[in-house]
Structure 1
Amino acid sequence: MHSLDDRCLRYLAEAVGCGSVRAAADKLDVNASAVSRQLAQMEAQLATPLIERHSRGVRATPAGHLLLDYYRRQASDREDVLAKLAALKGLRRGHIDVVLGEGFVGDLMSGLLQDFWARHPDLTMVLDLAATNDVVRRVVEDEAHLGLVYNPPPEPRLRTHLAMPHPIRLLVRTDHPLAAHPGPVRLADLAGHRLGAMHPATGIRQIVAAAEREEGVRLEPALTTGSIGVLKQFVASGAGVTLLPAFCAAQEVADGTLAVLPLADPGLNAVEARIVTRRGRQLAPAAAKLLQHLARGLAREGRAGERTLRKAMSDHGKPVDLTISGKNA
């Protein structure tokens, strides 16, 4: 019966994660020959190749991916068990890794995290910003306990704990000619207007690209960025317009700086923001507490943001259907 050596599994994970054996050896502070030798021995023991070498480094074979999934589950289970043992001893310490899209930062920093830390002052946290596909990957590979993501692609390994509609809207300055546009705006109506767009790797841009194909138009952004903040500054400066989820700009709309207009394409109105974890993962107490706190808080913030945005749009003569209702899954 074959045994799986933790050290060999770690070498495999680092080689695939770093993209090469040499880079993995540098990270692990061991000789590259030692990493290669251990991987070769594990391949011989299991009688199957675990990595494929190519011009840019190495990648995992199907058997390699199977072992990587096992190694990551083992590591996360060990972490969760240790955290639960600490909780049984009455300890209050713990650590949480969260990966999220930039659009969630405003919601978290508006008071949700402050409230959480007021209740659990000894817990530590890492918040990493990432594009949609990377949020999904990091949650599935147990690099993060929780993910907050816009419109993730279908992934059976993800579990959704909260899904909230977050339609994509046209964001313009209040004195922009399109601010007076009657009715929903078609993507074709943006022709002749300078457009700022999210990077193609982001969920927002992928949704917009699908709407372009559906409508038979091709948008040519003057500015492409991975930052929602940059796009809002782009619009606020009068440089152009952009397409973003409405609540990314709720405060600016409430302040009267920017206006949000509905879009005609139904695909742009059926977008969801989600809190996700890896299906089957038993979260440690600290992460489970944060998940519960965020699910309640984001649902509450979404309803409050809807009311604020509705009032602001009404004050500017632009009533818009912006219904937001959180649902647990």
Structure 2
Amino acid sequence: MDIPHQRLVYFQVTVEAGSVRRAAARLDIAPSAVSRQLSLIEAALEASLLERTRHGVQPTAVGEMLLDYCHRRRQLDHEFSEMLDAYQRLETGQITLQVGEGFVGDLIDTPLRAFSERYRGVRLKIDTGSTREIIDAVVEDEAHIGLMYHERVHPQLRFWHSSLQPLVVLMPPSHPLAEETAPVAMETLSRQPMAMWHVGHGVRQLVDEGFREAGLRPSIDIQTNSLAVLKHAVLSEINITLLPAFAAARELEHGLLVARHVDCPRFRQAQAHVVTRVGRRMPRAGLQLLRHLERWMRAFRCSPSD
């Protein structure tokens, strides 16, 4: 059944008015025009809709069913209008993020709390993954937004914002290198026992590239896929590690860890990125969240010391 909405309006007004003539007066059209539209509906349904009585017209059994349909359709239209209005006011919807684990603390501490308080109806889904997993999730539309580190170009990614975030060496305050002010030499770093990501992780790839260019090999005692393991290994004074400063911002602010720059051009050029898929239309809430992340996350400020 495909009955134009305006014809249903003519039918409903006729039932409410009690006659075709009164319906035509309400609609400000000729009675013949109303009668013609009602006849078209009856032809489509192959049934009579109205019957004449001493008090005017009343719906037949089929007319009653159609009238109920009109009421329910109007209610659905109203509910859809309200949902659309709420969506456009950023009160509803779901945004999915795929992020590197190092971004999690920076992401949740302030930006997401403030965003969630302002847009309480917007649901957020957050998953962590490696650089490759983040790229795949964004490219395959499993995530609206990706937060990743080091990778700088990709033909299917739109880089909304990038910020220079050097890879730094993290150590406990008691470590002998903690008092140094000059960047740590790669040769010195190669002699330090380190906790490090597994091979294939974006940061590990960067570390391996830096040591390979220096003609050295890192001394890695612990390999893991967990940021918590890396930080606890350093906090326990077992190892040092290499991470962007924003990944340990809270520990650095409280003086639990110390960050030192490394004398390595590749480490100094590393960047953090906010990405989406090229050509994907972002929901309004997603665009607002992108701006929110750029404004509030430490990872996307001009420099790690800001």
TM-score, normalization: structure 2? 0.68
Return the letter of the residue paired with 2:155. P
What is the total number of aligned residue pairs between the two structures? 224
Give the structure 2 partner of residue 221 of structure 1: 220
Unmatched tracts of structure 1, length 5 or more: 1-83, 308-329
1:58-81 deviation digits (Å, cap 9, x = unpaired): xxxxxxxxxxxxxxxxxxxxxxxx
Contact in 2 for aligned 1:136/1:152 (Cα 8 Å): no
1:150-197 deviation digits (Å, cap 9, x = unpaired): 012531110011111110011111111222345211222134422101
Give the structure 1 partner of residue 237 of structure 2: 238
Give the structure 2 partner of residue 141 of structure 1: 140
Give the structure 1 partner of residue 168 of structure 2: 169
Contact in 2 for aligned 1:172/1:242 (Cα 8 Å): yes
1:90 corresponds to which of 86, 93, 97: 86
Task: Name whichever of 209-218 and 84-93 sits farther off.
Answer: 84-93
Contact in 2 for aligned 1:87/1:285 (Cα 8 Å): no
Return the letter of the residue paired with 1:133. R
Following superposition, the deviation at residue 86 of structure 1 comes to 7.8
Contact in 1 for aligned 2:298/2:304 (Cα 8 Å): no
Contact in 1 for aligned 2:134/2:147 (Cα 8 Å): yes
Distance 1:86 1:199 in 2: 49
Counterparts in 2 of 1:114-263, with a 5 A limit?
114-152=113-151, 154-181=153-180, 183-263=182-262
Pair 234,159 (structure 1): closer, same or farther in 2 beyond 3 Å: same
SS of equivalent residue, structure 2 residue 168: strand
Task: Name whichever of 218-227 and 231-240 sits farther off.
Answer: 218-227
Give the structure 2 partner of residue 61 of structure 1: none
SS of equivalent residue, structure 1 residue 306: coil
Task: Name whichever of 264-273 and 103-112 sits farther off.
Answer: 103-112
Distance 1:103 1:86 in 2: 39
Give the structure 2 partner of residue 280 of structure 1: 279
Contact in 2 for aligned 1:165/1:272 (Cα 8 Å): yes
Following superposition, the deviation at residue 269 of structure 1 comes to 0.4
Return the letter of the residue paired with 1:154. V
Give the structure 1 partner of residue 110 of structure 2: 111
Give the structure 2 partner of residue 102 of structure 1: 101
SS of equivalent residue, structure 1 residue 126: strand
Distance 2:279 2:168 in 1: 35
Pair 182,284 (structure 1): closer, same or farther in 2 beyond 3 Å: closer
Distance 2:209 2:82 in 1: 47
SS of equivalent residue, structure 1 residue 291: helix
Distance 1:150 1:304 in 2: 15
Return the letter of the residue paired with 1:98. L
Return the letter of the residue paired with 1:275. V
Distance 2:204 2:163 in 1: 19
SS of equivalent residue, structure 1 residue 161: strand
Contact in 2 for aligned 1:147/1:275 (Cα 8 Å): yes
1:99-141 deviation digits (Å, cap 9, x = unpaired): 0001111111112111111111011111000011110111011
Give the structure 2 partner of residue 41 of structure 1: none
Pair 209,291 (structure 1): closer, same or farther in 2 beyond 3 Å: same
The answer to whether structure 1 residue 296 and structure 2 residue 295 are counterparts is yes
Distance 1:153 1:301 in 2: 14
SS of equivalent residue, structure 2 residue 174: coil
Pair 278,89 (structure 1): closer, same or farther in 2 beyond 3 Å: same
SS of equivalent residue, structure 2 residue 220: coil
Return the letter of the residue paired with 2:86. G
Contact in 1 for aligned 2:165/2:304 (Cα 8 Å): no
TM-score, normalization: structure 1? 0.63
Unmatched tracts of structure 2, length 5 or more: 1-79
Distance 1:191 1:304 in 2: 26
Return the letter of the residue paired with 2:128. L
Distance 2:292 2:217 in 1: 41
Following superposition, the deviation at residue 286 of structure 1 comes to 2.3
Distance 2:285 2:181 in 1: 49
Contact in 1 for aligned 2:106/2:298 (Cα 8 Å): no
Following superposition, the deviation at residue 204 of structure 1 comes to 0.8
Identity %: 35
